[in-house]
Structure 1
Amino acid sequence: MENFLEFLFAGLVNGAIYALIALGFMIIYNATGVINFAQGEFVMLGAMLTASLTGKFHFPLLLMLPIVLVFVALIGALTERLTIYPAREASPLILIIITIGVSILLKGLAMFVWGKDPLPVKAFIPGGPYHFLGATLPPQGVLILLVTVLAFLTTEAFFRFTLWGKAMRACAYNRLGARVIGINISNLTCISFALSAALSGLAGIIISPLTFATYDMGTMLGLKGFSAAVFGGLGSAAGAFCGGLILGVLETLSAGYLSSAYKDAVAFLLLLMVLFVRPEGLLSLKTAEKL
């Protein structure tokens, strides 16, 4: 029982990170219909900037946090303006290939700026782990869970109660209808990229004390976030949240009870199963179209 709780807590912490990344995939997909495979690199940028500002320049947490989020959001907006916007009339496949190219570019720039050596980040919350029914949970893990829940609640409030959020929902439901009633699709696309990048940057910030920040950490995190988004349903924020948590728990349980060699395979096996059985995702109300 103690081992199970240990695995469960660790899985929820990992799943919270996947859920934040999945939410970023969902936002861009709803606004543009494009899968942004550079999403993982925004996580990497958040972690690398956190390591630099807190380690080398000794920025306090409350000052570092807005700087990193604004910078990563700006990179996301520039990605849309410089790569997606000029090719906005191209097919979705071409746009997806462009995002893959952006991912490779950002990874190469990060390697050039920070090098290949992993960068450590000190824990944001000092102190020993919390104990619950014989299992332990590190303070940083609790912080990750709380920040993830807060981020999802804030994002949900943004979509339901702000003008921009309602416009994004209208665009996701019917792009042509949204354009007819006067919604600026171009601006919404840029905002969606900035918001999505900020959420992934937030994931990079909160995960950096648990893992070393490296230039290539975003690739696998991005793929797992994509798997979580597809599992829950690309059009659903609740699906992204649940998909991330379920993926994290299944991944940790398989590593604990079977072998750590299967840890990364779980995400892709789950992705294939969902694509075969329910392509629209578990919590999506839309019916997938087969081409």
Structure 2
Amino acid sequence: MGDLLQFSITGLTIGSIYAIVGLGFVLIYSVTKVINMAQGEFVMLGGMIMYTGISAGLPYWVSFVFTIIIVMILGWIIERFMISRAKGADAISLIILTIGAAIFIRGISSMVWGKDQVRIAPFTLNEPVGIGGAVITPQSIWVLVISLIVVIGLYYLIDKTILGKAFQASSVNPLAARLMGISPRKMSSFSFTLSAALGALAGLVIAPIMFPAYDMGVMLGIKGFSAAILGGLGSAPGAVLGGIIIGLLESFGAGYISSGLKDAIAFTAILAILLIRPSGIMGEKSVGKGGL
């Protein structure tokens, strides 16, 4: 039972990160129908910029806020100067464009920070806490708490605010939204900016656990995209559920079978689920219809 609880805690922790990254994919796709393959690089930049801020002598929480702002600006730049200028392009071309952006960010990052991992101190004292035969670190608790705050915050933003209503309108019917005075272009910028913030936040909370490096965004982006696909691309609750499922599959696969096969086990299970339900567990739905 101790092992089962330990694997469950580990799976929920890493799955929460996949869920946040998956939500970033959903936010952008819901409005623009673009799959942003640079989402993983937002996660990587969250950890690396935080490291730079701390190394430069900035207070920990000042570096935290500074990092999110910088990555949000980068997300806005990508949408404003790349995606919005290629709106007439087909979906494959837009995906290739975001892949190019990801490769560019990764290349610049390798030159700025090198190829070695960096270490970032945890948010608070990281003395492990025993729970029913399992052990959990305070940083893992931070991951779970912040993930819960993100989900609740997004639900409130999308379903309870005027900005959220405008976001939903642009997602459901851009033409009707434009006729009502809502700018789908601004909502597109908003989706990229918010998605970048989510990516940076995921990178910040996981950095003390998974030491960041210039290429860490590749696998995290793939896992986040897999979470969005598994849950149903376009469904925010599906992305959260998909992330948790992938995290648990990895943890149990590594614990009970082989740590070297954990990725293969998770992706095999995903393929099996998608063969049964190609649209994902919760099907494809827009934010306007499903929300959080």
The TM-score normalised by the length of structure 2 is 0.94
Q: Which residue of 2 aligns with 1:189?
A: 188
Q: Which residue of 1 aligns with 2:274?
A: 275
Separation (CA, whole Å) in 2 of partners of 1:197 and 1:127: 27
How far the C-alpha of 1:178 sits from its partner, in A, is: 2.1
Separation (CA, whole Å) in 2 of partners of 1:286 and 1:279: 14
- Are residue 21 (structure 1) and residue 21 (structure 2) matched? yes
Mapping for residues 52-63 of structure 1, pairs under 5 Å: 52-54=52-54, 56-63=55-62
Q: Give the unaligned 5+ runs of structure 1.
A: none
Separation (CA, whole Å) in 2 of partners of 1:189 and 1:39: 15
Separation (CA, whole Å) in 2 of partners of 1:179 and 1:81: 18
RMSD: 1.5
Q: What percent identity do the matched residue pairs reach?
A: 43
- Shift in alpha-carbon separation, 1:187–1:14, aligned structure 2, 3 A: same
Mapping for residues 1-291 of structure 1, pairs under 5 Å: 1-54=1-54, 56-284=55-283, 286=285
How far the C-alpha of 1:268 sits from its partner, in A, is: 2.7
1:129-185: per-residue Cα shift (whole Å, max 9, x none)? Answer: 111111110110000000010011111111012222111112222233323333211
Q: Contact between 1:30 and 1:168, CA under 8 Å: does it hold in 2? A: no
How far the C-alpha of 1:285 sits from its partner, in A, is: 5.7
**Letter in structure 1 aligned against 2:23:** L
Local SS of the residue matching 1:7: helix
Q: Which runs of 4+ in 1 moved over 4 A?
A: none
Separation (CA, whole Å) in 2 of partners of 1:278 and 1:178: 32
Local SS of the residue matching 1:136: strand
Separation (CA, whole Å) in 2 of partners of 1:35 and 1:285: 14
- Shift in alpha-carbon separation, 1:279–1:178, aligned structure 2, 3 A: farther
Deviates more, 1:211-220 or 1:265-274: 265-274
**Number of residue pairs aligned between Structure 1 and Structure 2:** 286
Q: Contact between 2:233 and 2:285, CA under 8 Å: does it hold in 1? A: no
Separation (CA, whole Å) in 2 of partners of 1:155 and 1:286: 16
Q: Contact between 2:28 and 2:191, CA under 8 Å: does it hold in 1? A: yes
